[in-house]
Amino acid sequence: MTTSVRDLHERGFGATLRRDAWWIAPVLTALVLGSFGIYSTWAAWVGANYEWGPYLSPFYSPLVQTTWWPLSPAFLILIFPLGFRASCYYYRKAYYRAFFLDPVACGVGEPRHGYRGETKFPFILQNVHRFFMYAAVIFIFILSYDVYLATRWPAASGGTQFGAGIGTLVMLVNVILLASYTFGCHSLRHLIGGQVDCFSCARGGQARFQAWRGVSALNPPLRDGCHSRHAALLMMLGAVFIRALKGRLGDFARPEGRRAERPSGRVSLPSRRFSARIRETRATTS
């Protein structure tokens, strides 16, 4: 008597005829995404050691400091990249399998037998992905500007001069991978070339077709999520590196034993901590 895939699904979770190590992929995904999620939450919550010299942690870019926000400034901006990644088609597949076990792998029994898709709360909120995509595109230009600032180092004669370090390279590669991941997004490809049955019949069809082919060239590597995984790891590596520079590692990286001041290209509002110091100083002098 033969056993069908449907029979295996009805037997319960983990039932399968597969002989390969199908469980390795979801376990690795759970470890990588779980580690990234735990570290990024902790790094954003502490609200310290996120910049050194010309370097700024990607978890805090753009840096928004204001007196009315009592928590870490990272929480003001992380909702946009988090929303984009959490609703991304690749990430949905990854964490559905790794954390929800739904399905854990192809041809493997699931813990549930009913399927309603993403038509119920909270999964119906995944439809906001295209709106988060608009914000993610803006963040690519912001992070690119951070890379430019990371090349402006203090000169001995005053002002700034071109310079590059390990942090600059990490930030540059991170932006390249994030840009490939973002501009190869299915929502962006649909925005450029979707809703057209015939490119040659549509207005501006030839230009749209060429633009669609351009962004589609970034899509094949995304089939296994390589850009998204590598970008996430580099974001975490960059944040760890900048945090290490704030410690003893920074003593060896500072020019002439001094802390390199951040270029004036970044403008931020006075922080809550800085405002408190001003009030304390005024009270002491009076």
As a whole number of angstroms, the distance between CA 252 and CA 24 comes to 40
| pLDDT cut 70: percent of the chain above it | 77
pLDDT band at 21 (very low <50, low <70, confident <90, very high): confident
pLDDT tens, residue by residue, 91-114:
888 888 888 888 888 878 777 766
pTM: 0.73
pLDDT at position 286? 43
pLDDT at position 17? 77
Instruction: Calculate mean pLDDT across residues 223-237.
Output: 70
Kind of pairing, strands 160-162 and 152-154? antiparallel
Spatial CA neighbour of 216 closest among 175, 185, 255: 185
Instruction: Calculate mean pLDDT across residues 202-217.
Output: 76
pLDDT at position 139? 92
Task: Please state which of the ranges 15-24, 176-185, 261-270 shows the lowest mean pLDDT.
Answer: 261-270
3-state secondary structure of 286: coil
As a whole number of angstroms, the distance between CA 186 and CA 41 comes to 27
pLDDT tens, residue by residue, 120-167:
787 888 888 888 989 989 999 999 999 999 998 888 887 888 888 888
